[in-house]
Amino acid sequence: MNNFEFKNPTKIIFGKDTIAKLSEELPTDARVLILYGGGSIKKNGIYDQVKTALKDISHVEFGGIPANPEYSVLMKALKVIKEKGITYLLAVGGGSVIDGTKFLSSAALYEGDSPWDILKDSKRTEVGMPFGTVLTLPATGSEMNSGAVITNAETKEKLGMGGPGLFPQFSILDPQVIQSIPQRQLVNGITDAFTHVLEQYMTYPAAALLQDRFAESIMQTLLEVAPTILKDPTDYNAASNFMWSCTMALNGLIQKGVPTDWAVHAMGHELTALYGIDHARTLAIIAPSHYQYNFEAKKEKLAQYAERVWNITEGSIEDKAYAAIEKTESFFNQMGIETKLSKYTDNFDGTAEIIAKRFTERGWLGLGEHKSLKPEDVEHIVHMAY
């Protein structure tokens, strides 16, 4: 097992009707900006619950943060923060609203000329404006981690940011919120969380027995509850296990002491930036090709995953490893997710070359757990995903 340090300061408030506890978490003298997305919270009752909980706390609102939070929209929210003397941010939404709020937390205290530089120059945020979240969509884990991904429509870029200053102070996780989530987003959430685990697990054996089993148990739980979630999102037992699995998949715990990959996300983010494909779907496009291309380096963990998660016990290491890739792809397909880029856009020609060129320009010359995937490897993998 590798050496590690672990600190996750986010307080989780989990369970039925917990949005009512919001006011207990906010400083009484806070001037709060509530941030939300395209308006789903106004239809499903979450907005009303938040407003009721905040009745004695000074607050203003900013809605309209789109999926894949857009820089130009966030800059309007930043203006509100400055003009209204906001001291505390409250994200009410999924990964996009939470990530947008993290950007604002950083940008509100940023002293440089253009906040885009936080992303472009990979500036770590040591201290941000404090913020909390009310999670409405289990998927990204953003509610309990310190990362964010922001889109710039003008430059067609999607870049990550982070730092210890960007953990939420608290996150409220009421599994009942999933009742109103459309099927497409439920499927995305399951796929995103599942792939988060794969990114931190599908590398090479590192004698980290407990981390491996944490990872496997999250994937097993997601596989177990997925059919129920998709059939009946009002099933509270399935909803609560789904929600907690998504948070645990990316709150830092399972990556401690082990090598991690994250190349699937690096390539996937480019597909969202170029074609607007839902984040989770880009992962399902890239992952099967990535595991095939890196088969030799990953086959031992692929075989372990085959045995422990998919109960594939027959055959050689290679046989099991191949079967595991097939099982993973058909899991995505069975939930209705296409795993080839050509199913999402007719303009896929040249995508692999564009992505490889971008990575070269950014100096991303060695991705993956061995830092050995060069832009030409990325080009091959994206090609295989056409």
CB of 191 to Zn ion, least distance (A): 9
By the rule CB under 6 A, 165 interacts with ligand NZQ:
no
Q: How far apart are CA 251 and CA 237, in angstroms?
A: 21
> Residue 93 is which amino acid?
G
By the rule CB under 6 A, 125 interacts with ligand NZQ:
no
SS3 (DSSP) at 121: coil
Q: Which residues contact 230 (CB under 8 A, 6 or more apart)?
A: 183, 186, 187, 335
Which of Zn ion, ligand NZQ, none interacts with 137 (beta carbon under 5 to 8 A by kind)?
A: ligand NZQ
Report 167-206 residues binding ligand NZQ (CB under 6 A).
177, 180-181, 185, 188, 192
- Range in contact with ligand NZQ (rule: CB under 6 A) among 139-147, 289-297, 311-319, 376-384: 139-147
Binding mask 287-316 for ligand NZQ (x = CB under 6 A): ------------------------------
Overall size of the chain counted in residues:
386
**Site residues for Zn ion per CB under 5 A:** 192
Q: Site for ligand NZQ (CB under 6 A): which residue of 59, 256, 279, 281?
A: 279
> Residue 223 is which amino acid?
L
Place of tokens 């607007």: 276
How many Cβ atoms from other residues are within 10 Å of residue 20's Cβ?
13
Among candidate residues 184, 166, 291, the one with its CA nearest the CA of residue 233: 184
* CB closer to ligand NZQ, 145 vs 241: 145
By the rule CB under 6 A, 255 interacts with ligand NZQ:
no
Place of tokens 């979630």: 229
* CB closer to Zn ion, 269 vs 320: 269
Q: 183-201 and 317-334 helices cross at what angle (nearest 10)?
A: 160
For residues 246 and 188, the answer to whether their CB atoms sit within 8 Å is: no
Q: Site for ligand NZQ (CB under 6 A): which residue of 145, 171, 251, 255?
A: 145
Chain residues that interact with ligand NZQ, rule: CB under 6 A:
37-41, 44, 67-68, 93-97, 99, 136-137, 139-142, 145, 147-149, 177, 180-181, 185, 188, 192, 250, 265, 279
